[in-house]
Structures are given as structure tokens and as C-alpha cells.
Amino acid sequence: MNDSKEMTPDKKVAVDVKSEKTEDAHKALVKRTSIAISALSLLALLGMGIYLEGRAVVLGGGMHPPVKKNEPVEELLAWDMDIIREGDEIVIDLPENAGSEDISMVSDHESGKLMVELACDPDYYREGGRITAPDAIVSAECSCDEAGETMTITLSEDKVYESTLSLEGGRAIISLDEPGEVYDNIVVVDHDEGTASLTRELAGKLLADGIKVYAMGPDCSYKAGEDTARGITREGSARAFIEDIRPDMVLFLRKGSTDIFYYNDRIYLRGYGNDELAMRMARDLAYERGEATASAEAYRGDKGLWSELGIPAVIGEVSGVLERYEEPDNADLSDIDKVSSGLRRGICYAFRDMAGNK
């Protein structure tokens, strides 16, 4: 009995020793596992850092290409230019030795942009080439091609101008004149896609007669960026275009299945009416085509902008092959020649009639 009582503590001690050994082993295992996890985490972070170094990074909401160490960041291809408000002409400083063969100018009246192209080093304008201009120039942007050999200065105008370029003392000087100050007779032609080539043909013929054509197509974006009601739609751009140019007449030219001219009989024009212009255009187009009859009638559809004009304006629907092609041998150009000649004849006689009614 005494022996069994003495054995019990020994058994209890044996059990406690075993538990302690198990606990020590568990602690050692946890420690080794923690060390291993820490090492793996460190390796993962290092790997992620190496990966991100060669990837694009996002700064200020935009994606930028990867930049390698010790390599310069690519120069900007376009940037805004500061305009010095001075005088009534545009004056652009030119690089040394720049001549007339290094500069050209194009006006895009439909968008209200004037583009000046220069063959020069872009750094000249990045580092402070000056431009002075009147308030008629709203903004100026400079851009260069990827080769860095050609610069384009795009000037945004507040309305349509006729521009003249000259070089003087290492500067480009551009004068601006309103259309009415340059031309006595002005026509705005609002054309669709089917009469674009016809409009260009007509404009060339009328210019030889001293009549200037300002054309606007279906994608006309004149003053479209303005925060006004008229700048939201294409009709708004067309209205602003006509208002700023102040032409003597407007021709809405459309491709149709037959030749017919429409006039608005709900508006009275003193001196020369819409009906007179429509009949004049119809007769002269029929004459050029060698046809005995001509069609002109009052328009009963939705007149839109057309009904607001206080100057002679007609809608002309014309038929035939009215586009120029790259391969002249594959195109019958008799229609476009006859139609452009007929429209030219009608417009010239209309100006004669209008002058006689003054």
C-alpha cells in the first residue's frame, strides 16, 4: 500500500516532463517557421521591387512609360505658347537664317485655325521663341513631328480672317483682315459629303471672277468649343460661321436625284429675293446642261437655319457624278464640269442683278 503511494508521484513527474518536452519542441517549430516566413516575405518584396522598377508608373492620373536610370525623359511634342498682347499683327520670332522656303501658312476657316509650319529645331520655341498677337488670336500651341525637324504653330482665331504672311528682320509677320475688307462679293456654300468636290471646283472658278467662296461641310466645327448654345450643334457652328463672315448670299448644296432649287417664300428680302435667286440658279444650270426646263419652287419642309437668314439663300439639289477621282481615266467628269459651270454662271448673274437693284 505504501509502495503504491510512493509510485504515484513518480508517474506524475514522468507525465510533466513529457509535456515540457512537447511544449519546447512546439516552440522551436514555431520559431523556425516564423524565420522561414520572414525570409520568404523579404524575398517577395525584393522581387516585387525589381518587377515594378521596369514597369510604367501612374502619376497624377496618367500612365507614363518606364524611365530607365541615366536616360533622359522624352521632350514634349506639343505645348502651349505664351502670347504677348501687342499691336494689330501677329509677329513670330524666327530662328537664325530661316528663309521663305522654311515657312508656310494654311488657314482652316471651318475650324477657325491658322497653322504656321516651320522647318527648324523645336528647342528654339521650347526655350522661349516669342510670339506677339492682337486679341483676335485666342490661343497658340506649338507642336513638332517625332523627328524634331518640323514645327507647327496653331493659332486659334476669334472669327474668320483673311491672313497675309511676310518676312521681315528675322520675324514672320501675319496681317489679319475681315473677309469684307478683302472681297467685294462673298458666298458661303454649305455642302454635304456628295458635293464636296463640286464645291471646291465652284470655289476655284468663282475666285477667278473675284467672288470668294467660304465652304463649310457636314463636319464643320467652327467655334464648337465655345460654351454657348450656338457652339453645341453643327447648326450652331454654321450659324456662327455665317454671322462672322457676313456673306452676300448662301447656297445650301446637296446631292440629289434631279436638279431643283428651293427658296423660302415666307421671308421678304428688299432688292433681291430668294425666289429670284432660285430661278436664276435653276435656269443657268439647265442652260449649261443643255436642258430646256428648269425647276425652282418654294420649300415646305423644315427650314431650320435657312429660315433665319436675312440675305438671299437657296437650297440647290443637283444630280450626276459630282466627285473628282484619283484616276481621271475612270471618271466621267462631264457632270461636275457642267454643274460647277452652271452654278458659277448663276451666281455671277445674281451678283449683277443684285448690283442693279441697289
358/354 Cα distance (integer angstroms) = 7
Q: Mean pLDDT lowest for which of 56-70, 74-88, 192-206, 316-330?
A: 56-70
Residue 199 cell numbers, joined: 464645291
Cell 465655345 sits on residue: 226
Residue 348 cell numbers, joined: 455671277
Per-residue pLDDT at 163 exceeds 50: yes
What is the reported pLDDT for 269?
Answer: 86
Percent of the chain at pLDDT > 70 equals: 73
Per-residue pLDDT at 140 exceeds 80: yes
What is the reported pLDDT for 278?
Answer: 96
Average pLDDT over residues 204-221: 94
> Tens digit of pLDDT for each residue in 33-55?
455 545 545 444 445 444 444 44
> Tens digit of pLDDT for each residue in 247-270?
999 999 999 999 999 998 878 888
Show the domains of the chain with their CATH numbers. 78-177 (2.60.40), 181-356 (3.40.630.40)
Percent of the chain at pLDDT > 90 equals: 51
What is the reported pLDDT for 149?
Answer: 83
Contact status, residue 336 vs residue 197, Cβ threshold 8 Å: yes
- Strand, helix or coil at 145? coil
Contact status, residue 220 vs residue 237, Cβ threshold 8 Å: yes
Number of CB atoms found within 10 A of residue 244's CB: 19
What is the reported pLDDT for 226?
Answer: 60
Residue 230 pLDDT grade (very low, low, confident, very high; cuts 50, 70, 90)? very low
322/16 Cα distance (integer angstroms) = 107
Residue 121 pLDDT grade (very low, low, confident, very high; cuts 50, 70, 90)? confident
Residue 20 pLDDT grade (very low, low, confident, very high; cuts 50, 70, 90)? very low
What is the reported pLDDT for 141?
Answer: 93
What is the reported pLDDT for 52?
Answer: 41
Residue 225 pLDDT grade (very low, low, confident, very high; cuts 50, 70, 90)? low
Q: What is the mean pLDDT of the chain?
A: 79
Q: Which residue type does 220 have?
A: C
- Strand, helix or coil at 63? strand
pTM for the whole structure: 0.74
Cell 466621267 sits on residue: 332
**What φ, ψ does residue 249 adopt, rounded to 5°?**
-155, 160
186/350 Cα distance (integer angstroms) = 12
103/90 Cα distance (integer angstroms) = 15
More confident of the two residues 25 and 295: 295
Q: Mean pLDDT lowest for which of 20-24, 267-271, 307-311, 348-352?
A: 20-24
What is the reported pLDDT for 231?
Answer: 45
Per-residue pLDDT at 57 exceeds 50: no
Q: Which residue type does 172 have?
A: A
